[in-house]
């Protein structure tokens, strides 16, 4: 995840599928802090334990307002994360 988040080679990326990769809150932070992923329209993080704290970071991401598809089932997000 760090390599994708830090590389300008992914600046044109519109869809990112990272389902079932054991990614946690730290990976969510790396993705959300990336200036190179600002153009994302679709993000699939299914079956990764990103938890409430990871979702909170994703909401702050530059790409958040441009997302039209977000897949988070099986990400161990509770009621607090949904609020």
Tens digits of per-residue pLDDT, 11-68? Answer: 999 999 999 999 999 999 999 999 999 999 999 999 999 999 999 999 999 999 999 9
% of the chain exceeding 90 in pLDDT: 89
| Gap between the Cα atoms of 77 and 35, Å rounded | 25
- For 32, phi then psi, to 5°, come to -70, -30
Tens digits of per-residue pLDDT, 67-76? Answer: 999 999 999 9
On whether the CB atoms of residues 5 and 32 are closer than 8 A, the answer is no
Q: Which two tokens stand for residue 56?
A: 């909170």
pTM of the model: 0.91
Quote the distance between the C-alpha of residue 36 and its chain's center.
13
Tens digits of per-residue pLDDT, 7-25? Answer: 999 999 999 999 999 999 9
> Which H helix or E strand runs over 75?
none
- For 4, phi then psi, to 5°, come to -70, -45
């Amino acid at each position: 995840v760090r390599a994708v988040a830090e590389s300008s080679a992914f600046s044109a990326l519109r869809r990112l599928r990272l389902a079932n990769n054991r990614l946690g809150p730290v990976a969510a932070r790396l993705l959300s802090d990336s200036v190179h992923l600002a153009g994302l329209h679709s993000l699939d993080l299914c079956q990764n334990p990103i938890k409430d704290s990871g979702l909170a970071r994703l909401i702050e991401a530059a790409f958040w307002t441009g997302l039209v598809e977000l897949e988070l089932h099986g990400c161990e997000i509770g009621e607090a994360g949904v609020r």
